[in-house]
Amino acid sequence: MTATFDPSTGALHAPVEELWALLEGGTLSPALVCGTAASDRGPGPLHAVLEAVRHPASRLLIHRGGQTVSGWVDDETAALLVPSGDGSAVLSSLPAAAVPGALATLLALGPRPRASGSACVPAAALAVTLAAPPRAPAALREAVGSDPPAALAAALVAPGAHWSVESEWPEAMPPPRALGPRDPLRVARRLDVLDADGVGLWILEPDGGDVRLEPSGTSEAWRRLAALLPRA
């Protein structure tokens, strides 16, 4: 594909491996130099993005529907690397204060009916169910070992209803810490949600070898998203 840079938004669309190479300390290919380089007026528009990636106050991984979005946040700027599904990705920047709202948009978090009915499910069984939702009620019952409430059962079999956000705070780790953009996260906080539009929203809480699915609302999920950041 032909890499493109939008100077009005600071978004860089390019092959995903080329973007990772840039974030890991590489240089821009000749196709990307135009419009992104520094000039006499100061650093280029990608400078703040690369600083956030290479010296973050926190890192994020956002998972939904088989897609993983990577994020980095420093005191002022955040960067998001969003796969496009065709071997390319978009690297974009936003103010650090706007991260919770950006996460809500990425996760399509919006008004939901206030669901009722909780459940406690073996963690291994829940993982299998979320990876390949059963279609028949009997299959769901067999998978989770019980009959969940009707709304929760509908959410459990809704494709792509589960999403999670993990955050890591490098500043909380003992120095020295050489942080690479693709290093495994040492998770400081994690939010797992079962979110089915028109059905309801549940927050997943580990409980030993089980997972509790507790009904929640959009406002609570929003607060939990904001709390993923180290200064929240």
Q: What is the pLDDT along the chain (232 residues), one digit of tens a residue?
A: 677 888 777 788 989 988 888 888 776 655 554 444 443 333 456 777 888 888 888 889 999 988 899 999 988 889 999 999 888 999 998 999 999 999 999 999 988 888 888 889 889 888 888 888 777 667 777 777 777 888 888 888 888 899 999 998 766 554 445 557 777 667 678 999 999 888 899 999 999 999 999 999 999 999 999 888 876 4
pLDDT at 54: 80
- Burial bucket for residue 71 (CB in 10 Å: 0-12, 13-18, 19+): buried
Note the helical H segments in the chain. 16-23, 30-33, 47-54, 99-106, 123-131, 137-144, 150-156, 218-226
Please name which of 198, 219, 220 lies closest in space to residue 151, comparing C-alpha atoms.
198
**SS percent in the chain: helix, strand, coil, step 5:** 30, 30, 40
Bridge partner residues of 205 (DSSP): 212
Give the model's pLDDT for residue 106. Answer: 92
Task: Read off the pTM.
Answer: 0.83
Neighbours of 11 (CB within 10 A): 17
Q: What pLDDT score does 207 carry?
A: 93
